Structure 1
């Protein structure tokens, strides 16, 4: 702890050393927390231990008042069950490839800045999306994004970073074919031919793509869009709108807000939650408002 720094708590520190910057930044992460007056208590993660198990064990063992997760969106997703069980506020040290939740919450990507947020900001509520019992922070997708997650191997993500997304997406894009979905929401039943349906809880996903321009991870709403394009090159034209979250203005994009959705496909299709394949269709989505508390700047200041 730096001289003159007032003690601000003890944090169970969970570092995913397999994340893009996890191994090389582990010691720096501990130092950044000490610099702002937080004493890190490293989580014990022997081989085969999940993030959720490590959190549960660490909270039960140590005198901690918060949990800090160092990693990317996949690490945060894996930590959700442990965070829910612990009932403690959590902080984020962005060490992953995309860091979309940190981006949505206005958390700096630099370790020093992220540590200051954990030390100085009050914890604020954050929602969770849930699909077939699997919780997520950012977005769940069926179609193109799920197929991309299946093809983008962990080693490629670590080696090439965001470029890995682009390389894999380019190869997959020309093979993308529309499929039929049935959507049940708000008393309606809708059928569509689509290449992707995304159900967002947060604002960003996929390394800077935007679910909706006014989406927030604490607004109590799921933002849904369906890409109902007939030709792959139309998706290329859509990319600037997908980055800004304004894709709903296109006539071949269906977009709406809801708190619950049931989605069916003719055959089971994988569902990608925060970059990991976790379940298959049929998919039942629901909102879990204010399920956790996170150290982050107030909304609108990030």
Structure 2
């Protein structure tokens, strides 16, 4: 019998309006009886994952929280040991959207059906540490917005906290450039978003060629340092026209290197500064689809 675990973050998304016991009851009605892990920080997640790594083989790990908690779980589990599943109960649920899971009920039904696929993840190498990511690595402006967001504001205002941080970033504008090396080419740019999925920042399509199950990455380069460049790109993203934007340049590759000094965020959490190298872990886990 497969051992199962359920990660929930009581500070995230809809957990404030939906009790944990209700979720556990719905899982039980579907024949699932996971061990519940209530976590609020990445350190909490890593501690629980260490215990899972030492437990029975091939566990099912269900994450009923946002993309940040999924990221922490992916960084805590050993490669090629677990099957992952997601239930969209977080502030940000981009991974669930990529999988086409629109509700908790649909997510539970897919877990019961048991269909899985191999799941690659990205791997960011900094000078003194390495970090896995599921959706994207942002280097430059979006990482500075994530780095400077007010934690309490994030809890109270959700995505609005990022909008405030973005507005404040215009007051201390950094015009410096970085070099992106990918697919045998080098490009100088102001920011880059390395995508392993199609969506960015919610349900907005930034990399339509991106696929969760592909071993390849797409570097979305923003060449110009002007504020108006980002305003135009934001409008195009919100209106669904980013795929044809003239403000970005796409570089597909299976590995990417960034030189220069810029902040870095992974799946919505700040992790450090470039220089950096990005590769893929091709078969990190299996994931319920």
TM-score (norm 1): 0.83
CA RMSD of aligned residues (A): 2.7
Matches within 5 A, 1:221-236: 221-236=216-231
**How many correspondences in the alignment?**
284
Matches within 5 A, 1:259-270: 259-265=254-260, 268-270=261-263
Following TM superposition, by how much is the alpha carbon of 1:277 offset from its aligned partner in structure 2, in angstroms? 1.3
Residue 70 (structure 2) aligns with = 76
Distance (whole Å) between structure 2 residues aligned to residue 173 and residue 86 of structure 1: 43
Distance (whole Å) between structure 1 residues aligned to residue 5 and residue 58 of structure 2: 6
> Measured at CA, do residues 113 and 168 of structure 1 come closer, stay the same or move farther in structure 2, by a change above 3 Å?
same
Residue 208 (structure 1) aligns with = 203
Following TM superposition, by how much is the alpha carbon of 1:233 offset from its aligned partner in structure 2, in angstroms? 2.4
Matched, 1:290 2:274: no
Following TM superposition, by how much is the alpha carbon of 1:243 offset from its aligned partner in structure 2, in angstroms? 4.5
Residue 118 (structure 1) aligns with = 111
Of stretches 45-54 and 110-119 in structure 1, the one that deviates more from structure 2 is 45-54
Deviations, residues 183-238 of structure 1 (Å, cap 9, x unaligned):
2222233333x1x2110112223233333112111111111111123431232222
> Measured at CA, do residues 176 and 278 of structure 1 come closer, stay the same or move farther in structure 2, by a change above 3 Å?
same
> Measured at CA, do residues 187 and 59 of structure 1 come closer, stay the same or move farther in structure 2, by a change above 3 Å?
closer
Give unpaired runs (5+ residues) of structure 1.
Answer: 1-7, 297-302
Where 2:246 maps in the other structure, the secondary structure is: coil
Give unpaired runs (5+ residues) of structure 2.
Answer: none
Assess if the C-alpha contact under 8 Å between 2:118 and 2:285 holds in 1: yes
Following TM superposition, by how much is the alpha carbon of 1:174 offset from its aligned partner in structure 2, in angstroms? 5.7
Deviations, residues 59-89 of structure 1 (Å, cap 9, x unaligned):
6456984111121111111111333357120
Distance (whole Å) between structure 1 residues aligned to residue 73 and residue 42 of structure 2: 14
1:38 aligned residue (9, 21, 32): 32
Runs of 4 or more above 4 Å deviation: 44-49, 61-64, 243-246
Residue 9 (structure 2) aligns with = 16
Following TM superposition, by how much is the alpha carbon of 1:111 offset from its aligned partner in structure 2, in angstroms? 2.0
Assess if the C-alpha contact under 8 Å between 2:30 and 2:112 holds in 1: yes
Where 1:43 maps in the other structure, the secondary structure is: strand
Following TM superposition, by how much is the alpha carbon of 1:241 offset from its aligned partner in structure 2, in angstroms? 3.1
Residue 188 (structure 1) aligns with = 185
